[in-house]
């Protein structure tokens, strides 16, 4: 098989000869006998109608035609090398597609920006379509709803809401801490249990207000999260409601700390009540389990989640 | 006195069970013992001849009939609240009820903190539940329509074009749109040309799948302005997270942009198209018309908007 009468394998030899014009050394380098290299040089000379390498004293030098060919051949071989090294499957650098992901604002606001920065660097052709769950209150679980009915690629949910019918992996875990106004006089440096229950709370919700992210059947916590409270689906608006009020927001530590870093009138204190940490799980389409694009996206996402929660 | 043999108070238990999907939580919610809730569920099951809630995947899940009953039941109980409150003046300082308000994340950030601060002072024992507008939007017309009632909400704050004309409403405040870029953006200076706007990548906030489903998206589409969309997020508050440190442009309400620019590495640049003006409007649920508590909350919200 030849291309336009030239054996493309000859270009490997040509590149080597143009780089280092010595039949002996090229033979060594390519691990071929000297007579074979000489024979190939003869065919190259015949093809290009030019001697390419000429004897000058004891060394070979490049002819003008050879000098002209040198960078062109070299570049072509580089491309050939990249092309032939491509493994079957997914190349993020070249992929042109959009992944959709349904998740809470915790993940959308604190993990996915890291993901989009990585995409911009490693996979500029991959777009992100992010959704939340607010619209769903269906008979099925939200995981099943978004994966099966809406065809969303990935879904991230607190572990309690995952579906057994789809592949899953833990994405992140985070302990809870409390975000409060720095001027809150009932809290001086630390928050004790009595004050935690005495003050009003602002509580993030999911699924159109139907659930809170803190999963506890403890009656006191339950009351603190339900009575005399502000419940809001808009997690990212929470820090703007706290200043100049006694409100306490019990949030994943990395989220509370980021909010406080941006708003100096807020402070983070330890939560006086032992709470199970938030555990978010990623799920994806069963049928795509072995799709290399999915595997790459999921692995990158897991990496970003680790980066977002250094304390955990 | 019973209706078709059913103790109507059991409906309150059923509402709590369908909402909480757990006997223990439903019990906490309505202040009954677990055993009382279990036996109430037994009687409800017998009456409706249906399990109402069943175990699926280690979770209690409403049956088909359970789901069907849920929204009707909620409307019915809301009407009962109105009847119960009729002719009772609303006393904010003593009130303990929960108000449900639908609004965008934008309204939740720039406006609701005023309402919350007001409630903390005047009605410290009420609860406020702020829920998204999002599920209003797939339906193109009469968006507010039955949504308020179906989702058990008392009030909604939404752009005028999304509210329905057949329910009471009040104008609150208006808003314009502007653009944000990263502080160190190399290709955008003090202004943004139409050409730059269509060449550079965008992060857009859309309630549903299409860019046209946003207030500014609809208008841009009509004006023939195309955008190269890199990232789609479900609300405005996520936009800056995907603008900081990138080449992307975000098109957002001006009040948000100005607030973010104070604390985040962002610059505000005027949008290269004619001003888009959005009028945020308060809509009251038909199920709660005449409820003195809801009327009090509506007046409070209008008052908070008066100097906004």
**Bigger pLDDT: A40 or A220?**
A40
What ipTM was assigned to the predicted interfaces of this complex? 0.75
CA dist., res. B262 & res. B264, Å (int):
6
CA dist., res. B212 & res. A150, Å (int):
19
Residues near A131 by beta carbon (within 8 Å), at least 6 away in sequence? A100, A101, A102, A103, A146, A152, B234
Q: Give CA separation, A78 vs A41, B67, B295, in Å.
A: 21, 63, 74
**Under 8 Å between Cβ of A233 and A133:** no
Query: Is A13's pLDDT higher than 80?
Result: yes
B241–A129 CB contact, under 8 Å: no
Substitution target in B27, B111, B241 with the highest count of A β-carbons within 10 Å is B241
B116–A241 CB contact, under 8 Å: yes
B29–A226 CB contact, under 8 Å: yes
**Bigger pLDDT: B238 or A68?**
B238
CA-based nearest distance A129→chain B, Å: 5
The tokens for A276 are 């199970």
Which residues, numbered 189 to 248 in chain A, qualify as contacts with chain B under a Cβ-Cβ cut-off of 8 Å? 200, 202, 205, 208-210, 217, 219, 222-223, 226-234, 236-237, 240-241, 243-247
The tokens for A101 are 């992901």
In terms of Cβ atoms closer than 10 Å to its own Cβ (0-12, 13-18, 19+), residue A290 is: exposed
CA dist., res. B119 & res. B102, Å (int):
17
Residues near A180 by beta carbon (within 8 Å), at least 6 away in sequence? A187, A191, A242, A247, A248, A249, A266, A267, A269
CA-based nearest distance B170→chain A, Å: 23
For A236, which of B22, B105, B110 is closest by C-beta distance? B105
**Bigger pLDDT: A3 or A94?**
A94
For A128, which of B28, B126, B232 is closest by C-beta distance? B232
Lowest-pLDDT choice from A1-10, A42-51, A209-218, A230-239: A1-10
Residue B201 phi/psi, 5-degree rounding, is: -70, 150
In terms of Cβ atoms closer than 10 Å to its own Cβ (0-12, 13-18, 19+), residue A247 is: buried
pLDDT of res. B134: 65
**Under 8 Å between Cβ of A136 and A210:** no
Q: Could you say which DSSP state residue A133 is in?
A: S
Region A300-308 average pLDDT = 92
- Residue B198's SS3 state is helix
Q: Which residue is listed with tokens 């985040």?
A: B264
Residue B97 phi/psi, 5-degree rounding, is: -80, 170
pLDDT of res. A89: 64
Residues near A215 by beta carbon (within 8 Å), at least 6 away in sequence? A158, A160, A276
A223–B28 CB contact, under 8 Å: yes
A130–B25 CB contact, under 8 Å: no
Region A75-84 average pLDDT = 70
Look at the alpha carbons of B30, B36, B38, B42 in this order and tell me if their dihedral is positive or negative. negative
A227–B127 CB contact, under 8 Å: yes
Taking each continuous run of H as one helix and of E as one strand, the counts in chain B are 11, 11
CA dist., res. A237 & res. A36, Å (int):
74
Region A267-292 average pLDDT = 87
Substitution target in A96, A105, A121, A134 with the highest count of B β-carbons within 10 Å is A134
The per-residue pLDDT string of chain B (308 residues; one tens digit each, 9 = 90 and over) reads 455 567 778 888 998 998 888 898 888 888 889 999 999 999 999 888 889 999 887 778 888 888 888 877 877 777 777 666 655 678 888 888 889 999 989 999 999 999 999 999 999 989 999 998 865 444 444 456 667 877 888 999 988 877 877 778 899 999 999 999 999 998 898 889 988 998 899 998 876 544 445 667 777 777 777 788 888 888 899 999 999 999 999 999 999 999 999 888 999 999 887 777 889 999 998 888 778 899 999 999 999 998 88
Query: Is A220's pLDDT higher than 80?
Result: no
CA dist., res. B259 & res. B172, Å (int):
20
Query: Is A1's pLDDT higher than 50?
Result: no
Residues across chain B: 308
A95-129 per-position pLDDT tens digit: 888 899 999 889 999 999 999 989 988 888 888 98
Contact residues on chain A for B34, CB-CB shorter than 8 A: none
Q: For chain A, what is the mean pLDDT?
A: 85
Residue B295 phi/psi, 5-degree rounding, is: -65, -35
Q: Give CA separation, A268 vs A15, A180, B83, B85, B128, in Å.
A: 64, 6, 44, 41, 23
Contact residues on chain A for B263, CB-CB shorter than 8 A: 262-263
CA dist., res. A259 & res. A241, Å (int):
12
- Residue B36's SS3 state is helix
**Under 8 Å between Cβ of A179 and A246:** no
Query: Is A79's pLDDT higher than 90?
Result: no
The tokens for B227 are 């955008």
CA dist., res. B83 & res. B81, Å (int):
5
Residue B95 phi/psi, 5-degree rounding, is: -65, 145
The share of chain A scoring above pLDDT 70, in percent, equals 91
DSSP string, A214-281: -----HHHHHHTTSSEEEES-GGGHHHH-TTS--BEEEEHHHHHHHHHH-TTEEEEE-SS--PPEEEE
The tokens for B2 are 């019973």
pLDDT of res. A188: 84
Residue A309 neighbours by CB distance under 10 Å: 21
Contact residues on chain B for A222, CB-CB shorter than 8 A: 25, 28
Contact residues on chain B for A230, CB-CB shorter than 8 A: 116, 119, 127-130
pLDDT of res. B215: 67
The tokens for B63 are 């049956």
The share of chain A scoring above pLDDT 90, in percent, equals 39
Mean pLDDT is highest, among A47-56, A178-187, B218-227, for: A178-187
- Residue B297's SS3 state is helix
What's the first-to-final CA gap in chain A, in angstroms?
Answer: 58
CA dist., res. A305 & res. A299, Å (int):
10
CA dist., res. B143 & res. B161, Å (int):
9
Alpha helices in chain A (DSSP H): 10-19, 23-30, 34-48, 64-85, 105-110, 112-122, 142-144, 193-198, 219-224, 238-241, 253-262, 292-308
**Under 8 Å between Cβ of A119 and A296:** no
Residues near B238 by beta carbon (within 8 Å), at least 6 away in sequence? A105, A108, A109, A130, A236, B205
CA-based nearest distance B231→chain A, Å: 5
B26-61 per-position pLDDT tens digit: 888 888 899 999 999 999 998 888 899 998 877 788
Query: Is A135's pLDDT higher than 70?
Result: no
Contact residues on chain B for A184, CB-CB shorter than 8 A: none
CA dist., res. B161 & res. B142, Å (int):
9
Contact residues on chain A for B61, CB-CB shorter than 8 A: 139
């Amino acid at each position: 098989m030849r291309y336009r009468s030239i054996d493309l394998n000859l270009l490997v030899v040509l590149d080597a000869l143009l780089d280092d014009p010595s039949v002996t050394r090229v033979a060594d380098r390519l691990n071929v006998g000297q007579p074979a290299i000489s024979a190939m040089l003869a065919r190259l000379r015949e093809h290009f109608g030019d001697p390419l390498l000429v004897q000058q004293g004891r060394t070979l030098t490049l002819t003008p035609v050879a000098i002209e060919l040198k960078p062109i051949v070299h570049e072509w071989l580089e491309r050939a090398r990249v092309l032939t090294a491509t493994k079957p499957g997914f190349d993020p650098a070249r992929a042109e597609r959009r992944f959709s992901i349904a998740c809470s604002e915790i993940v959308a606001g604190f993990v996915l920006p890291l993901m989009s920065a990585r995409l911009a660097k490693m996979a500029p052709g991959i777009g992100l379509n992010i959704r939340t769950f607010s619209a769903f209150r269906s008979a099925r679980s939200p995981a099943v709803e978004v994966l099966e009915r809406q065809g969303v690629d990935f879904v991230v949910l607190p572990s309690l809401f995952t579906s057994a019918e789809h592949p899953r992996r833990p994405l992140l875990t985070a302990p809870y801490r409390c975000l409060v106004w720095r001027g809150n006089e009932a809290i001086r440096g630390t928050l004790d249990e009595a004050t935690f229950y005495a003050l009003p709370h602002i509580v993030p919700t999911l699924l159109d207000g139907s659930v809170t992210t803190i999963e506890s059947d403890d009656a006191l916590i339950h009351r603190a999260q339900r009575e005399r409270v502000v419940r809001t689906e808009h997690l990212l608006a929470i820090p703007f409601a706290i200043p100049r009020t006694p409100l306490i927001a019990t949030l994943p530590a990395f989220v509370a700390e980021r909010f406080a870093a941006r708003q100096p009138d807020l402070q983070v204190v330890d939560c006086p009540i032992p709470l199970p940490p938030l555990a978010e799980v990623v799920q994806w389409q069963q049928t795509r389990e072995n799709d290399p694009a999915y595997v790459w996206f999921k692995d990158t996402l897991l990496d970003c989640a680790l980066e977002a929660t250094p304390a955990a | 006195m019973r209706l078709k043999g059913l103790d109507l108070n059991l409906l309150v238990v059923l509402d709590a069970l369908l909402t909480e999907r757990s006997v223990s939580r439903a019990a906490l919610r309505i202040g009954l013992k677990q055993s009382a809730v279990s036996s109430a569920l037994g009687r409800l099951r017998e009456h409706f001849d249906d399990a109402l809630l069943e175990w699926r995947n280690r979770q209690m899940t409403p049956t088909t009939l359970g789901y069907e009953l849920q929204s009707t039941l909620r409307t019915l109980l809301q009407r009962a609240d109105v009847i119960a409150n009729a002719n009772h003046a609303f006393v904010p300082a003593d009130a303990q009820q929960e108000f449900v308000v639908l609004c965008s994340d934008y309204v939740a950030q720039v406006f609701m903190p005023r309402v919350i601060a007001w409630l903390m002072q005047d009605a410290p024992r009420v609860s406020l539940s702020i829920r998204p507008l999002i599920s209003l939007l797939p339906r193109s017309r009469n968006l507010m329509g039955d949504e308020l009632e179906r989702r058990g909400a008392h009030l909604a704050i939404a752009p005028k074009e999304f509210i329905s004309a057949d329910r009471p409403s009040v104008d609150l405040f208006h808003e314009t749109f502007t653009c944000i870029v990263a502080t160190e953006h190399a290709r955008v200076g003090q202004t943004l040309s139409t050409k730059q706007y269509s060449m550079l990548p965008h992060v857009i906030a859309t309630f549903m799948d299409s860019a046209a489903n946003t207030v500014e998206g609809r208008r841009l589409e009509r004006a023939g302005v195309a955008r190269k969309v890199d990232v789609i997020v479900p609300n405005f508050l996520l936009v800056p997270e995907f603008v900081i440190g990138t080449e992307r442009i975000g098109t957002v309400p001006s009040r948000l942009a100005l607030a973010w620019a104070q604390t985040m590495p962002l610059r505000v640049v005027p949008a290269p198209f004619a001003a888009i003006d959005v009028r945020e409007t308060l809509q009251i649920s038909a199920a709660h018309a005449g409820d003195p508590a809801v009327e009090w909350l509506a007046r409070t919200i209008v008052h908070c908007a008066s100097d906004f």
